[in-house]
Structures are given as C-alpha cells and as structure tokens.
Structure 1
Amino acid sequence: MTRRKRPTTLPEALPGLGRILRRFWPYLRKHLLLIAGAMLALFASIGARLLEPWPLKFVIDRVVVDAPAGGASGWAWVDGLDPMTLLTYAALAMLLIVAARGVGSYLSTISFALVGNKVLTEVREDLYRHLQRLSLGFHHKAKTGDLTIRIIGDIGMLKETTVTAILPLLANVLVLGGMVGIMLWLNWQLALIALLPMPLLWLTSVKVGRRIQEVSRKQRQREGAMASTAAESMTAIRDIQALSLEKTFEKAFTSESRKSLKEGVKAKRLAAGLERTVDVLIGLSSALVLWFGARLVLAGALTPGDLIVFLAYLKNIFRPIREFAKYTGRLAKATAAGERVVDLLEQTAEIQDLPNARPAPPFVGAVQFDQVSFAYEPGQPVLNQIDLCVAPGERVAVVGPSGMGKSTLVSLLLRLHDPREGRVLVDGVDIREYRLDSLRAQISIVLSDSLLFAASVRDNIGYGAPDASTEQIERAARLANAHAFITALPNGYDTLLGERGVTLSSGQRQRIAIARAALRRGPILILDEPTSGLDRDNERAVIEALENLSRGRTVLMITHDLELAARADRILYLEAGGLSEQGAHAELLGRGGRYAALFRARAEQPRPSPVPETSNAVES
C-alpha cells in the first residue's frame, strides 16, 4: 500500500483536512437540510452566549449604580424604565437567554451527531465494500489487523470527534468573532489590550499542537501494528500453540503496546502543558483588562456594566485556543484516521470491470489460455507463454512441483489477477469483456482449506447460491456425501459452526465446501488440492463427492495426489512456468518423462496417513 507523507506542521495539515472534506463531500451533500438546521441551532446558541452578560450590564448600570457614567446609557428604552421594572426584565431575559442557549446547543449537538453518524456509517459501508473489491495484490501486502482498525477504529474516532471536538471548536470560533466585534464596539482601546496575548497564545498552540499531532499519528500507527499482531495470532492460534510461539507473539504485541502507551502519555503531557500555558496567558489578559478597565470606569469613559461585559467575554474569548489545546490530540488522531480512511478509499482495484464490460451469457465451458504470461513482480515470471485449450466437460489435472504457478493459472480464470500478456478465454471470448460478478457466478471452486463462516451449516452451503431453497441445499449436501453427518449434528442444518468451521473435521469441512460448489451449479469447476490433509476414510468420501460434482462440468484440478490426477481425462505437468508435458495418465507413463518419473517415485514411497482429526461433530 502506498504511504503518503504525513504533515508535521499546521499549514501542512490543512491540505490533508481539505482532502478529507473533498472526499466526504458527496456523503455530506445528501444531508444538507439537516446540516442547515444544525447550523441555525448553533447560531441561536451562539447569539444567546453573546447576549448572556448584557442583562447583568443593565442591572449594574441602571439599578446598582443608579445612573450610568455620562448620564445616559444610549439605550432609550432602557433609560425609560424604572430600576425595579428593569431588574425584573433583566432577570427574565437572563432566564430566557440561558434557556435559548441550552436548547440551541442541544439541538445543534444532536443534529451534528446525527449527520456525523449517518455520513460515517455510509463511509464505513462503502469502505468495507471497496476493500472487498480490491485486488489480491493489495491484500497480499496489506495487514488484516490494520485494515480492521481503519474500518472500525478510524471511522469510530471520526464519529466521536465530530461531536466532541469539531462542533465545540466551530462554535467557539464563531463566539470568538462575535465577542471581539462587540468588545471593539464598546471600547476599541481596551479590546486591543485584552487581545494582546492572542499572538503569543496562537504561536504556542501551533508549536505544541504540531508535536501533539505527530505523536498522535505515531500512536495510531502503533495501534494498527497491535491490531495486525493480534489478528495474525488469533487467525493462526492452532499453529502458534503447536509451535510454542505464544511468548514470541506476546513479546511483539507487548512491545507495540508499550510504545503506544509511551506515545499516549507524551501526547497527554504536551496537551496538559499547553492548557496550563493558555490559563496563565488568560490570567495575564484578565489582569490587564481589570486594571485598565477600572481606570476607564473611574474616568467616566466606560460604564461598570461595560467592564462586566468585557470580563465576562474574556472568560470565553480565549476558549477556542484553550479548546484547541484540549482537543489537539484528538483532532490530530482524527485527522490521521481520516487520512487513513481516504487512503483506502482512493486505492484503485487492479482488477475491475472494463467500461464496456457486459454480463456473461450462460457458459458452455470451453476454456482457453492463449499465450498467457504472468508475474507478481517485474522480471520474475510465474507463467510464461501458456497455451492450453480445455474442451467443455473435460477434466484436466494440473500437477508439478510446488511454487510453479499451478494456483496462479486457475486464479487467472477467476480474474483474481489479469495476465501480463496473452488472453484467457471462455467459449472463445476474452473474459475481460464480461462483468466480474457474472463471470465468477458461473465458476464453482473447492479449495484445500475451504473457508467456512461462523454461521449455520445451512447458511454456509447457501452462500454458493443465496437464493437457493431448503430442498436445493439438502440436495447439494447429498451430492457431496454430507447429508448424513449434517443430520447427526445437534441441530442438523441449523447447527452453528465455529469461526472457520473449527467445530468440524477436515473431511466434514471439505464436503460442506463441495456442497456449496454443487449448489452454485457453475459449468466450470476449479479444484485446488481438494483432498490435501485428509485421512483415508475422509478422502474416499470426498473423492466420491468430487466425482458427483464433476459430472457434466469442465474441471481444472490442481493436485499433488497423482492417484487422484490419474482419474482426469488429461494431465498437465507444469514446471518453471511452462507446460512441459500433457496427456492422459497412461500416455504420460508410456513417454517416460517427468510425470512418469514422479509417479513411479511416489508409488514406491509408503503413503502417510494423516491422523484423523477430532471434532465436536459426529463424523460419518
């Protein structure tokens, strides 16, 4: 996965924020009405906050001090009220203002939270959908745990930050603008004195914020590394325990966890130091305003109520910077999280439908590889100039040494990869002319370790054809020699399987996979080491199921089991990226080539019998 250079300064971060907003704009556009309502509620809340100290100003000027400096307040309707009436009105106004602020704040918070949750839920769904369609080349390089963190953790952090950081900061910045404007209107000289610490506050916040941002990004990377280690170890827990690797993985996980802790503590320490610096500078500003403001009141240039408004505003005027100090770490993490999400969304699938791709018609099953070459890495060919024609209904076995491109060959037929040179054709048409979903829907596949999901047996079989009826599922299970052991399970077809089917033996898992392939009814069947690791009894049951499954289909079977390969109509010997031999079993033995030598060598060796697996299921 291509890594972008992460910004280390605030100006560098702004393009990243702009990039996130541009990428999320199509999602936001769907909710413009709700956003407009949220903004109206926010403005109402801000207006109430600006008005909050004014009832107190009028009480101080017209009730407590009896008459304002200069003889009149400049508010004719205020000067015309007797003190007790003004006091009553001021008390009611304060109550209404606080209520309006509370209602506006509540509505804006709820509305923005609703927008954030809707938008980011859609982003998460699109991100998951996008990951499902990215090519195998991407997934081979990516770490599963890190991808999981991006789908769950990064999106979750964006959701939280929308409400707990971005909204308060937006409100406080608007409040700052309003309060500065009113202070300049009341007395511009005192307003400038009040704002003297502002440049120093901003420079300090930017400097420390940059360090917090970098530390937060490193912490997020540590969390992704921890998730990758945890996902890898949980997926391979059987091998880890068998090889006594628990301490090795514990050490790797603990190392990343301690580094994450260190980065987290550092970020908190920086944020706490910034907050205290802000508090000190706010105290300095308040002292200056109090000293100069009191002198202006004594000189008659300012009313006591105006000074009260100044001091009240001063508590809030630096709040955006204080909040910046408080939420810098969270915002930095959110920015990093957003960039990680956008990075994934901007990944382009190597394998995708061409602009003029069309749905594939029902296949007859003729398969052709026309001068096909392929390499995972430039200069390291896996397949070289493969020419192969498979007739409809023909069963072809592909054998040869490990790592010679056998699995790669069939993956090209599924368009998991595209050839670097040449074409793969079905019924005489390049498969790239068909839509991926319509191509793969007509190809059934059984792997050596077929994936079963943490769902019922019925659902696991039904994934082969989501619209299949109960009768069709049971018919497929019978064809796969699986019906007997399934009905012996505690809840039959409704028995829930453990993750990856761990509650079943290898033979049972394989027969459920065969039933799934049978249900798909694709005219082309791919078998990739379908009997690998099975004991004799399970192998016989699986081979019988495969014979049932193969009838009337074009079969490409990869296998190291030469006895199984001998059942095929034709055998291909793949070596060094090319087809060195091909023909029927008896024909190849008669030639005395590489296949014959391998077959005789295997025949002279005693065949090991894998130890039958124990499981919680009843083996048939």
Structure 2
Amino acid sequence: MSSSKPTTLRGALPGLRRTVKHVAPHLRSERPLLVGGLAAMFAEVLMRLLEPWPLKFVLDGVIAASGAEIAGEAPASLPMVLLLACIGLLVVVSLRALASYLMTIAFALAGNRLLTKVRGHAFTHLQTLSMAFHDNSRTGDLVARVTSDVGRLKEVAVTAALPLIGNVVTMIAMVVVVFVLDAPLALVMIAVLPIFFLTGARVSRRINGVSRQQRKAEGELASMATESLSAMRVIQSYSLEDKMSGAFASNNAKTLKDGVKAKKLSAGLERKTDVLVGLATAVVLYIGANRVLAGALTPGELVVFITYLKAAFKPMRDLAKYTGRIAQAAASGERLVDVLEETPKVVNTSWARHARRFRGDVWLRRVWMSYTPGHPVLRGLDLHVLPGERVAVVGPSGAGKSSLAMLLSRLRDPEAGQVCIDGIDVRDLTLESVRPQIAIVLQESLLFATTIRENIADGAPGTSDAQIEAAARLAGAHDFIMAMPHGYDTVVGERGTTLSGGQRQRIAIARAAVRDAPIVILDEAMTGLDKGTEKEVLAAMNRLTEGRTTIIITHDLAAARDADRVFWVEGGVVTDSGRPGAVMDRRAGPAGAGGANAAAPAASSSPPTDPAAHIERKEQGLALPN
C-alpha cells in the first residue's frame, strides 16, 4: 500500500488520474448516457445564457417608453414586447428545468452504474490477491475501501464533480458573452479570480490533509469494529467489553475531530468566497452604473451583466462548497486504487498447462518458504508421499506444518525448491486445475451464513442434491441435518456459530467429499473436539480419505497412530520419519529429536537459491533440478 500521500489538491491530481485510469475501462458501456447527459448539460448552459435577455428587453423597452412618454410619443408596440418577453422567459426557464432534470438523471444513473461496476471489480480483485496480501491486511479496512470509499466516490461524482463541470462550462460561456458586451467591465469581473485561488489554495491544502487523516481513521475504525464483532465470544468471556468500547470510543472521537475540522475549514472557505463574490458584484455594479450613465451600456445590458456575474461565480462557490468532499473523494479513490494496483503473487505462469486428474504422488523438494522476509518457516524441507498413502506431519506449533497445505493448494509459492504432484511442479499447472483436486478440512471449518445445502455445494459448484446428500451421509451429517427445522435448507449463523463444533466439522467434511479430490489435507481437523464427537468425526474422515492420498497435519503424535508413515517437522525441516510406532518411541526416548532418523540439513537463515530461479530456468528452457 502507498505510504506517502500528497496534501494539496494539485498534489492529489496524480491520485485522481490513477483513479480515472481504473474507472475508464468501465465507461464504454455508459457512453450513451454520458453523451445524453453532456447534450442536456450544454442545452442547460444555453438556456442559462438566454434567461436574462427577456428581462433586458423589458427594462430597455420600459425605459425607452418612459422617455417617449415624456416626449409625448408612447410606442404602440410596448405591450407586445412585454408579452413576448414574458412568454420567452417562461419557455427558457421551462426548457432549462427540463435540460437540468435530464442531465441530473443521466449523470446520476451513469455514475451509479459505473461505480457499482468498480466496486464489483474491486471485490473480485481482492479475491484474486494472494494470501501474503490478506495476511498483512486488516479485514475491516479492506471492507471500508470496497464499501464506504467507493460510496464516497459515487456520491461526489454524482453530486459534486459532474455539476461542477456544468458550472465551469457555464462560467466560460458567460465570460465570453460579457466580453462581447463590455470588455473593460468583464476584466473588472474576472479580476477577483486570482484572489480566490490564492485564498482557496491554502485552505484546500489543509482540507485535503485532514480528509486523508479522516479516511485513514475511518478505515481503522472499521477494522476495529469488524475484529471486535467477530471475536465477541472472547470479548465477553474475558470481560473485555469496557476495554474494546474505550478503544472504539477513542478512534471514533478522532474521526469526529477530523470531520469537524474539515467541515469548519470548508465552511470558512465558502464564506470567504461569498464575500469575494459580493465584492466583485459591488465593484461591477458601481462601474457598470457609471457606464450606463455615460451611454456605453443600456440598463438592460447592465442587468444581464450582473445576472451573468452571479451565475458565472457559482462554480467558485461550488468549488469552495465541495472542496472538502472532493478532497475526501481523492483520498477514497487513492485507497481504492491502492488495492486495485496490488498484483497477485501467485499466478499462472505463461507456460502453465491444465492438470489431468492427479494420482496423488506428492513431493516437496528442498522447499523454502517464509511469511516475513528474512524469517523462513520452511528451510529446505524434503517430503515424499506416495499415491494413496496416508501420512501424518507432526511437530511443535510454529514448525511450518500448515505451510504444506498452503503450498500444495498454491495459496503460496515456495521461494526456492519445488512442490511437485505426480512429478510435475505445481507452478507448471494452472491454478484452476490444481486447487479443485485438493480438499482441505481445517481446524476451524468456517461456514457461510447460508443454507447447509449451499455450504456443502460450495465444495464443488454445480453439485446435485443427490451428491450433496451422499456427501452428508459419508460425513455422518445427514441425520442431524434432517432433524433440523428445515433440513438441508436450514440457514446457519455467520461462520456456522449456530452449530456445534462437531456438526460444523462434519459439514466441512461433506463439503470436502463433494469435491471428490484425489488429495485430502486434514489440518488439525480433530483439535478441540470432545471424545464422543471426535470418534464420529474420525469415522467420517476415514470414509472421506479412503483410497486417497491423505496428509494429516497435527501437533499430537497420538492423532497420527493410524497413518502409514509419520514425518516429524521441526525448525522448518523433517527431522524424523517412519512408522508411527517407531517415531513415537524415538520421540519419547532420551534421544528425543536426535533419534536414528533425525538427520536433517543444517538450519540456515536464507534459501540457497534465488526465489525467481524456477521461473528463470523455465523461461531459458533449462532442466529443473532433480
């Protein structure tokens, strides 16, 4: 994520350009609406230009008539001029109202559609980003970027930016007309603009800086709320309500302070702008009246001039009014673009091919991997699992066991070494063909807040009801599901909290079963279950893994007693392997980790090869190391 941010509106322009760059691809489908909106906008500008002229004809006609009456010659055409002027004014105002309505509807519809697509694109992009990104990001902040930041962009685009464009076009058109009417007076009118920009620049810089702080604080607030609400059981169990409420109140107060500060600055700029516009109007009125008396202007033309003056300065007032909102939109846009410009670290290589159905031969060769640069979790790990074999990977917490599941399903790629299935490096295969062939049952199997049927079907989209029921029977879940009020259509709570741990785990097993994957990974899947539930879940797991390559990841040697082989992982390498009984004996013996098969490569702090070596060798057509 970007760390240094500009603090001026001019400095924010690159960020706005970055935002436009990501929004532009979605513009094509909205071109008809945008073209229609622009046409309506120019029609509205034209009506604004015409609106004062009927009043000019009336004033000049009345004054001319007054002069003629004094001379004893009243023009007979005056009533007709007044009638036509009034009808003309009504027509112009009606057409302007219609054009303004059409412009607002077209721009609002286009803006909402456009940014709805951007939000969908951002959410889809977030799901493609690697676990390395998500592990280092706060969920609440990401949610704020996709929801409130996009909402802020949408609001400002529809209610501020697009109307501001119309007002700027109006200002330019009116300045051209007043120059044609009276160039010296027009120069007096625009002389106030440099004063406005000098005054506004300093305040705009402060508003933009405060807005960035506010958006950052709001992101932190969303993260705190998300984390607290998702951990409510822990908070209440440890009586942390006061602590969490205090922390939330502190952050909430900070967003309030920044919000009030930005509003005060924006309101101050608006009032200064009003004073400047009033000053310009007074000067133009004084000089213009003198020019009327000198015969250089008619009274009607002076009225047109004053009307144009007030309308032409409306963009200045709007800019002052919307400066804070535009600054917030710039900050929101950059926060969104920061996400969109993140690139997935795990992607299909240019030579990746579709994988056939795996036999299940798994081989990790000299694998290095780290979550934090310079602190490897796996340090040259070697591990080979034969097709259909049931192995247990055992070791202390933090030894790197769960990293194997991430490597096999390509949630992460190794920095060095190879992860091979059926003799093929998984980086040479497409993600779409590797991941569906690996089923994972986690310690905390998360369920979505939807029906049990949909939760099971998530294992393999397109699964039939018959396959769902068969998977549930295999997992030993069918009976308790049917005992629920709505059976398979029962909606579970968020993360499956309305079910017991054993029920959640058996539904997770059913979800894995419908996948029909040749490789099954059980990552601490039995942890936290009571003895009775453990027995039922274990039976379900045995049915799930029958005839499949199975990797059981656990910290408990006793949970590995039914495995064909056990690998003891410690310090990022395999330090012992063999039959469960033999490994248990050696681990329990006086030699401990120094058992007969404890030979392992010496631990090092860095991988022996460059992380990009695999890709470089493939691109150069070199043979991979054996």
Normalised by the size of structure 1, how large is the TM-score?
Answer: 0.92
Change (3 A) 1:307 1:215: same
SS of alignment partner, residue 577 of structure 2: strand
Alignment of 1:242-321 (within 5 A): 242-321=237-316
Change (3 A) 1:369 1:397: same
1:57 partner amino acid: K
SS of alignment partner, residue 345 of structure 2: coil
Note the C-alpha offset of 1:231.
0.3
Change (3 A) 1:67 1:442: farther
Tell me the distance in 2 between the aligned counterparts of 1:589 and 1:250: 48
SS of alignment partner, residue 279 of structure 1: helix
Tell me the distance in 1 between the aligned counterparts of 2:210 and 2:49: 36
Q: Is the 8 A contact 1:165 1:331 kept in 2?
A: yes
SS of alignment partner, residue 357 of structure 1: coil
Q: After superposition, what is the alpha-carbon deviation per residue over 1:476-500, rounded to whole angstroms, capped at 9, x for unaligned?
A: 0111111111111111111110101
Corresponding residue number in structure 2 for 1:615: none
Task: Report the count of equivalent residues.
Answer: 587
Note the C-alpha offset of 1:593.
6.5
| Candidates 517, 521, 525, aligned match of 1:526 | 521
Corresponding residue number in structure 1 for 2:409: 414
Note the C-alpha offset of 1:463.
0.7
Normalised by the size of structure 2, how large is the TM-score?
Answer: 0.91
Q: Is the 8 A contact 1:588 1:595 kept in 2?
A: no
Tell me the distance in 2 between the aligned counterparts of 1:68 and 1:581: 114
1:236 partner amino acid: A
Q: Is the 8 A contact 1:61 1:67 kept in 2?
A: no
Corresponding residue number in structure 1 for 2:27: 28
Alignment of 1:9-408 (within 5 A): 9-66=8-65, 82-408=77-403
Q: After superposition, what is the alpha-carbon deviation per residue over 1:61-87, rounded to whole angstroms, capped at 9, x for unaligned?
A: 123433899xxxxxxxxxx99222222
Tell me the distance in 2 between the aligned counterparts of 1:221 and 1:269: 19
Q: After superposition, what is the alpha-carbon deviation per residue over 1:513-535, rounded to whole angstroms, capped at 9, x for unaligned?
A: 00110111100001001110001
Q: After superposition, what is the alpha-carbon deviation per residue over 1:28-82, rounded to whole angstroms, capped at 9, x for unaligned?
A: 133223211111110001111111101111111123433899xxxxxxxxxx992
Note the C-alpha offset of 1:590.
5.3
Q: Is the 8 A contact 1:213 1:333 kept in 2?
A: yes
Tell me the distance in 2 between the aligned counterparts of 1:480 and 1:369: 30
Tell me the distance in 2 between the aligned counterparts of 1:551 and 1:327: 65
Corresponding residue number in structure 1 for 2:489: 494
Tell me the distance in 1 between the aligned counterparts of 2:66 and 2:28: 54
Corresponding residue number in structure 2 for 1:567: 562
Tell me the distance in 1 between the aligned counterparts of 2:568 and 2:449: 38
SS of alignment partner, residue 380 of structure 2: strand
Q: Is the 8 A contact 1:120 1:159 kept in 2?
A: yes
Q: After superposition, what is the alpha-carbon deviation per residue over 1:244-263, rounded to whole angstroms, capped at 9, x for unaligned?
A: 11111111111111011111
Residue ranges of structure 2 left out of the alignment (5+ in a row): 69-74, 594-626
Tell me the distance in 2 between the aligned counterparts of 1:506 and 1:255: 36
Tell me the distance in 1 between the aligned counterparts of 2:76 and 2:470: 91
Q: Is the 8 A contact 1:458 1:494 kept in 2?
A: yes
Tell me the distance in 1 between the aligned counterparts of 2:571 and 2:202: 58
Tell me the distance in 2 between the aligned counterparts of 1:504 and 1:192: 76
Change (3 A) 1:595 1:410: farther
Q: Is the 8 A contact 1:205 1:324 kept in 2?
A: no
Tell me the distance in 2 between the aligned counterparts of 1:301 and 1:255: 65
1:198 partner amino acid: L
Note the C-alpha offset of 1:270.
0.9
- Which moves more between the two structures, 207-216 or 8-17? 8-17
Q: Is the 8 A contact 2:557 2:584 kept in 1?
A: no
SS of alignment partner, residue 484 of structure 2: coil
Change (3 A) 1:324 1:555: same
2:414 partner amino acid: P
Tell me the distance in 2 between the aligned counterparts of 1:596 and 1:150: 54
Note the C-alpha offset of 1:206.
1.8
Q: Is the 8 A contact 1:63 1:84 kept in 2?
A: no
Note the C-alpha offset of 1:387.
1.8
Tell me the distance in 2 between the aligned counterparts of 1:501 and 1:458: 13
Tell me the distance in 1 between the aligned counterparts of 2:305 and 2:336: 44
Q: Is the 8 A contact 1:444 1:526 kept in 2?
A: yes
Note the C-alpha offset of 1:137.
1.0
Change (3 A) 1:589 1:564: closer
| Candidates 430, 435, 438, aligned match of 1:435 | 430
Tell me the distance in 1 between the aligned counterparts of 2:428 and 2:587: 41
2:56 partner amino acid: K
Tell me the distance in 2 between the aligned counterparts of 1:255 and 1:194: 49
Tell me the distance in 2 between the aligned counterparts of 1:68 and 1:399: 108
Change (3 A) 1:413 1:12: same
- Which moves more between the two structures, 550-559 or 19-28? 19-28
Change (3 A) 1:595 1:419: farther
Corresponding residue number in structure 1 for 2:616: none
Note the C-alpha offset of 1:295.
1.1
Q: After superposition, what is the alpha-carbon deviation per residue over 1:200-220, rounded to whole angstroms, capped at 9, x for unaligned?
A: 112112221111111111111
Tell me the distance in 1 between the aligned counterparts of 2:524 and 2:281: 78
Tell me the distance in 1 between the aligned counterparts of 2:440 and 2:67: 90
Tell me the distance in 2 between the aligned counterparts of 1:380 and 1:245: 33
Q: After superposition, what is the alpha-carbon deviation per residue over 1:545-588, rounded to whole angstroms, capped at 9, x for unaligned?
A: 01100101100110123222010011000011110111111332
- Which moves more between the two structures, 369-378 or 532-541? 369-378
Q: Is the 8 A contact 1:410 1:526 kept in 2?
A: yes
Q: Is the 8 A contact 1:357 1:433 kept in 2?
A: yes
- Which moves more between the two structures, 377-386 or 550-559? 377-386
Tell me the distance in 1 between the aligned counterparts of 2:416 and 2:569: 18
SS of alignment partner, residue 27 of structure 2: helix
SS of alignment partner, residue 439 of structure 2: strand
Q: Is the 8 A contact 2:362 2:422 kept in 1?
A: yes
SS of alignment partner, residue 558 of structure 1: strand
Change (3 A) 1:388 1:68: farther
Q: After superposition, what is the alpha-carbon deviation per residue over 1:372-424, rounded to whole angstroms, capped at 9, x for unaligned?
A: 11122233221112222111100010001110000012211111111111111
1:545 partner amino acid: A
CA-based RMSD of the aligned residues comes to 1.7
Tell me the distance in 2 between the aligned counterparts of 1:386 and 1:81: 106
Tell me the distance in 2 between the aligned counterparts of 1:596 and 1:406: 22
Corresponding residue number in structure 2 for 1:444: 439
2:6 partner amino acid: P
Q: Is the 8 A contact 1:230 1:253 kept in 2?
A: yes
Q: Stretches of 4+ moved more than 4 A in 1? A: 589-598
Note the C-alpha offset of 1:185.
0.7
Tell me the distance in 1 between the aligned counterparts of 2:480 and 2:67: 95
Q: Is the 8 A contact 1:368 1:424 kept in 2?
A: yes
Q: Is the 8 A contact 2:586 2:592 kept in 1?
A: no
2:390 partner amino acid: R
